[in-house]
Amino acid sequence: MNSLGIIDYGAGNLSSVCNSFKAVGVEGKLVRTEDDLAGLTHLVLPGVGAFGDCSRALAAQGLAEPIRRWTQEDKPFLGICIGYQILFESSEESPGAAGLGILKGHVRRFASTELKIPHMGWNTVHPTTPGDTIWAGLGDAPHFYYVHSYYPEPEDSSIIAATSTYGCTYAAAVRRGRLIATQFHPEKSQVTGLRLLQNFLQLSLP
């Protein structure tokens, strides 16, 4: 049986994330302190808001280091939107704010173009390895829902699990072992998003 934790740092899109996991049969437990991690098998870091605010909140709640340990131990982890970006070292959105540094790289803002910023709405996602179990049942070019003005630029391109294009082609998702993180919002992506959450829950502990 999976025991799912959803990190609550005061700004995540918790209701949508919790309801989406309920829709696939799993009740998530809100994680606000390190003690709340006891007994969990899967951990989700959702995100709405700014990089710097997320960094400060995780540090204030004593969760930054436990999250690092969780990913170092290769336990199933899903980061969503800001919960994806905060895994990197820094962001142009919040100069001087340190990310978790779990993944090498930086978060960039979309360059000024004729396209509307933030990027908001549905977009095609192109898995780099369509046969990966995280994309099971989703086809070669699923559509997911986005709301963002920034995107991570991983130093190690081998961890890029999928790309999208909006003015430029960027890393829409990464995977390193049992760590999965997405710029798009599975919890806002209807049937496609629910299937990805199910696939995440299929990841077993090391």
Catalytic residues: 81, 185, 187
21 in Cβ contact with 28 (< 8 Å): yes
How far does Cα 29 stand from its chain's mean position?
A: 17
Which residues contact residue 15 at a Cβ distance below 8 angstroms, ignoring those fewer than 6 apart? none
Determine contact, residues 76/108, Cβ cutoff 8 Å: no
User: Cα–Cα distance between 28 and 7 in angstroms, integer?
Assistant: 10
CB 58 within 8 A of CB 98: no
Nearest CA to 77 out of 128, 130, 134 is that of 134
Residue type (1 letter), 15: S
Query: Phi then psi for 39, rounded to 5 degrees?
Result: 85, 0
Residues 6+ apart with CB under 8 A from 131: none
